[in-house]
Structure 1
Amino acid sequence: MTLLHGPGLADAFDRSAPAYDLLVAANPGYHAQLRLAARRLALPGGGAGQHLLDLGCGTGASTAALLRAAPRARITAVDASAGMLARARAKRWPPGVDFVHGAAESLAGAGVTGPFDAVLAAYLVRNTAGPDAVLAAVRGLLRPGGRLAVHDYTLTGAPVHRAVWSAVCWGVVIPLGAVGPGGPGLYRHLWRSVLEFDTAPAFRDRLRRAGFADVRVSPVGGWQRGITHTFTARRPAADR
């Protein structure tokens, strides 16, 4: 199958948006893992005085996780899918949380210019046509010393983890997605995109090549151990 990118992927998310929250809620640990990824940014003082970017916010689950980790921060949440953003905006948010419609590949065109003290990108980089360009743009949006957390399905490369991922997708995720308004296309893309994207060690190296420092890889627990990881890094403080 051909992977979805750009407008085609945004359209698939638009069609699936009405049932998306129900589907991810059926994933044990999904929201807890997002909260863990946000905590791994280690933001001081509840984010007081900081401006944070939630890149690829979807229906707002990652925004809620970031807000819980940094309740005193100002948050700009961005997504390329108008349908997903409509779901996010319909929820209740405190002042200081703003949603912007824009693609990760063209943030400046959407008016997202920073600088930001930290960026959370959950389930995003794998879905972009140019991961290196997106990471370079994110680095440019961060203040020197600013923090990045990328949370995504990134397999270890071990055959057992590839097998578990495929079994879960074809046994649970794709059949459930097929009964939703968007059909199975988005979830078939999810299955294939994870198999074809970087392994966890390869993505760690990609972050280093992009100029990030202090790159660390942290696993999650449960059935997703070896399948889902959080990558934390910093824009070097001397990077001016």
Structure 2
Amino acid sequence: MRVERDGMARSAVPDAFDAGAAAYDRLVGANPGYHAHLRLSARRMRIPDGGRGLRLLDAGCGTGASTAALLVAAPHAEIVGVDASPEMLARAAAKPWPGSVRFVRARVEDLGESGVAGPFDGIFAAYLVRNLADPNGQLRQLRALLRPGGTFAAHEYSVRDSLGATVVWHAVCWSVIIPAGTVLTGSSALYRHLWRSVTSFDGARRFRQRLVDAGFTGVHSETMTGWQRGVVHTFLGTNPLREDA
């Protein structure tokens, strides 16, 4: 599969995740802090009262790691997880979940056609926006699914603002991620895409501005701990209470 300077064609990404689904949980499980950092981003959404009476969307839920993080932060919420990769989604759905969690196969671009409708009180998007063909348009559409005052959180790689973070990212990809992914799946395409798509993606300042341009207010970001400091961030924004805000 061809991987360009900014990664593979975004239309090809779901198929690449299908091919890597069997090994995905093992690979991310070997990443120190992976699950803890997802839980940290979910906590940063500050979902009130454990999510009681609220609806949350996990956009790009993959094998369910981000869904599990949301469930810890909001154990009483209704959570809808969506993903475009049927193999990733099948692995998510096969895990034990309470009745308040359900999964829908859908591209983020086609949520309405797949029966996923708002309003949601919060939207969590882990490692999603970087893989969208039209991130600006999809951020606006995701905001439209939020209740006024609802929170959007993107848990995402962003290294372009930091030379140190960029160097760490190159080193981790070529010493760990790409070799391990290739051994486990027989192909390096998805992992080279990960490397390239991150190095070509927005710096944190640019992504915060992208959220502002999509209409979110109160936009800010916080980074992680450990080796992912400056590499992975939580980007947060609020759907304004008034459209003219």
Q: What amino acid is aligned across from residue 33 of structure 1 in structure 2?
A: H
Quote how far apart the aligned CAs of 1:88 are. 0.3
How far apart in 2 are the matches of 1:5 and 1:156? 21
Residue 116 of structure 1 aligns with which residue? 120
Q: Which runs of 5 or more residues in structure 2 are unaligned?
A: none
Of the three residues 143, 149, 170, the one matched with 1:139 is 143
How far apart in 2 are the matches of 1:209 and 1:147? 16
Residue 129 of structure 2 aligns with which residue? 125
Tell me if 1:61 matches 2:76. no
Residue 179 of structure 1 aligns with which residue? 183
Residue 90 of structure 2 aligns with which residue? 86
**What do residues 83-120 of structure 1 show as CA deviations (whole Å, max 9, x unaligned)?**
00010011000011010001112211211111100000
What is the 5 A alignment of 1:195-214?
A: 195-214=199-218
Q: What amino acid is aligned across from residue 16 of structure 1 in structure 2?
A: G
Tell me if 1:12 matches 2:16. yes
The RMSD of aligned alpha carbons is 1.1
Tell me if 1:238 matches 2:236. no
Question: 2:130 touches 2:198 (CA, 8 Å); kept in 1?
Answer: yes
How far apart in 2 are the matches of 1:94 and 1:161? 38
Q: What amino acid is aligned across from residue 158 of structure 1 in structure 2?
A: S
Quote how far apart the aligned CAs of 1:36 are. 0.3
SS of residue matched to 1:42: coil
SS of residue matched to 1:98: strand
Query: Would the alpha carbon gap of residues 12 and 226 (structure 1) be closer, same or farther in structure 2, given more than 3 Å must change?
Result: same
Kindly tell me the number of residue pairs found equivalent between the two proteins: 240
* TM-score, normalization by structure 1: 0.97
Query: Would the alpha carbon gap of residues 63 and 182 (structure 1) be closer, same or farther in structure 2, given more than 3 Å must change?
Result: farther
SS of residue matched to 1:179: helix
How far apart in 2 are the matches of 1:221 and 1:96? 31
Q: Which runs of 5 or more residues in structure 1 are unaligned?
A: none
Q: What amino acid is aligned across from residue 75 of structure 1 in structure 2?
A: I
Tell me if 1:97 matches 2:105. no
**What do residues 11-58 of structure 1 show as CA deviations (whole Å, max 9, x unaligned)?**
100010001000000100000000000001101000000000000000
Of the three residues 205, 208, 229, the one matched with 2:233 is 229
Quote how far apart the aligned CAs of 1:239 are. 2.6
Quote how far apart the aligned CAs of 1:180 are. 1.8
Q: What amino acid is aligned across from residue 49 of structure 1 in structure 2?
A: G
How far apart in 2 are the matches of 1:95 and 1:198? 37
* TM-score, normalization by structure 2: 0.95
Residue 192 of structure 1 aligns with which residue? 196
Identity of aligned residues (%): 55
Quote how far apart the aligned CAs of 1:7 are. 4.0
Tell me if 1:74 matches 2:78. yes
Quote how far apart the aligned CAs of 1:182 are. 5.5
Query: Would the alpha carbon gap of residues 225 and 156 (structure 1) be closer, same or farther in structure 2, given more than 3 Å must change?
Result: farther
Residue 170 of structure 1 aligns with which residue? 174
Residue 28 of structure 1 aligns with which residue? 32
Of the three residues 20, 37, 40, the one matched with 2:41 is 37
